[in-house]
Structure 1
Amino acid sequence: MADGRKDPADKAAPSDHSGHRDRLRNRFRKTGESGFEDYELLELLLFAAVPRQDTKPIAKALLRRFGSFAGVLAAPPKLLTEIPGVGERVAEHLKVVQASAVRYTKGQVNERAVLSSWSQVVAYVKSAMAHSDIEEFRILFLDKKNGLIADEVQQRGTVDHTPVYPREVIRRALELSATALVLVHNHPSGDPTPSRADIQMTKQIIDIAKPLGVEIHDHIIVGRFGETSFRGLQLI
């Protein structure tokens, strides 16, 4: 660590964990992730960053603190290091795993037309945004064949508000020659129910976009407890 203190992962620990680790790895080879509880899969992830310590208590403490496997990966490094046994190296390792998961799901979207891979689109935006502790407003810019031109976070706000400027959204769409958009934002509260402000902002974007030949395919709100589609709610 930068301040000269030892990372908790470097602490000496009993040497009889190798058998447990080998058994867990062998189970994974046989069953894959489907045969594992969340804490066990988290244990496996921690093996690489915690070489000489029992990772089960750490994994269970992380899950208790952050609520879910996804919540652990999305947690800010500062909060991760508040958990006993989690130092900067462990926190960095978990953030790399999260970044890898987001990159993988984004690749699934990039490989095919957005509207024909809707489940991958939802999986991607949830992995990227659902557990963020601030609101973010993201736009997927599409071409005439619904292929992804660009994926951009337009605004970042506070825990319960993101400023969105409808004319700037459409200006950027015209710059990219996009013919359709998918709007996405997150609710850090976890509840993906659209607010009155969300509905009003979406209507403003649609009203500006329509005369310019830009279609709003959907507005998706994601949260820890699910996602909401404006089109599914017939708000578009």
Structure 2
Amino acid sequence: MANSDHDERGFFGEQAAAPIKRDPAPEKPHYLGHRDRLRERFSASGDALADYELLELLLFRLIPRADTKPVAKALLGRFGTLAEVLGAPASLLQETKGIGPAVALDLKIIAASARRMARGEISGREILSSWNLVLDYCRAAMAFEEREQFRILFLDKKNVLIADEVQQQGTVDHTPVYPREVIKRALELSATAIVLVHNHPSGDPTPSRADIDMTKTIIETAKPLGIAVHDHIIIGKKGFASMKGLLLI
């Protein structure tokens, strides 16, 4: 009979336990701490953050597992400002590394929400006493469009906004405008005043000779029908021009 000191129980019992190999704890991505710090700064200071930092905050939710600072800076390097990033076409946004179709769409949703908020600021208000809000809304709605748009703000007798409509959309440097159609729509809405707005995709809001002549034709057509043209605003990427302010009408 075999010696019991050498059976399998004794053999295994006397062996030193092999150390258990454990994988090292995964290193926490460096950007997670940065996200927490940036959120804390936003909570404390809000609008004091730079454009790229606000854009980073937006991208945190859209790109959850990556360092978004390089992406935010690349977008601003390409388009210039946060407003221009949000106003850029989705196809151009996707040319930036890190921005796919889903993120581009989310940025456009944010831009649409911002426009809706700006429009809400002028709804139900007396337009002439809320002029800066009107300009903010028009810039948000039109400044970064790639093609010209001709927009009309229709007002009632108290100069409160009745409707806001894009009547025509043209090319990069021209929009056909038909004065009779402008007045026809004003009569349909029972508007007693209008504000004309269009954008210059080139970025320069300086009125052209054609812009001035067209505006004067609309004024002459509207006046006998009791419809006032308060202004014609031209929106550019970096600013705006008021024909009334420039004494052109």
Report TM bin, short chain: over 0.9
- Kindly state the Cα deviation for residue 225 of structure 1 after the two structures are TM-superposed: 1.6
Please tell me whether residue 204 in structure 1 is matched to residue 205 in structure 2.
Answer: no
Matched with 1:165 is 178
- Kindly state the Cα deviation for residue 168 of structure 1 after the two structures are TM-superposed: 0.4
AA of the residue aligned to 1:173: A
- After TM superposition, the score normalised by the length of structure 2 is 0.88
SS state at 1:52 partner: coil
SS state at 1:32 partner: helix
Identity %, equivalent residues: 65
- Kindly state the Cα deviation for residue 88 of structure 1 after the two structures are TM-superposed: 1.1
- Kindly state the Cα deviation for residue 116 of structure 1 after the two structures are TM-superposed: 1.1
Residue ranges of structure 1 left out of the alignment (5+ in a row): 1-13
CA distance in 1 between partners of 2:220 and 2:159 (Å)? 21
Matched with 2:147 is 134
Matched with 1:225 is 238
AA of the residue aligned to 2:114: A
Select the structure of larger CA radius of gyration.
2
- After TM superposition, the score normalised by the length of structure 1 is 0.93
User: Residues 20-54 of structure 1, C-alpha deviation per residue, up to 9 Å, x if partnerless?
Assistant: 00000000000012x21111110001011000000
CA distance in 2 between partners of 1:78 and 1:18 (Å)? 29
Matched with 1:23 is 37
Q: How many residues align?
A: 222
- The structure with higher relative contact order (CA 8 Å, sep 6+) is 1
Matched with 1:79 is 92
- Kindly state the Cα deviation for residue 16 of structure 1 after the two structures are TM-superposed: 2.4
CA distance in 2 between partners of 1:183 and 1:87 (Å)? 37
Q: Aligned runs of 1:25-174 on 2, under 5 Å?
A: 25-33=39-47, 35-174=48-187
User: Residues 162-212 of structure 1, C-alpha deviation per residue, up to 9 Å, x if partnerless?
Assistant: 000010000000010000000000000000000000000001100100001
CA distance in 2 between partners of 1:41 and 1:214 (Å)? 43
SS state at 1:185 partner: strand
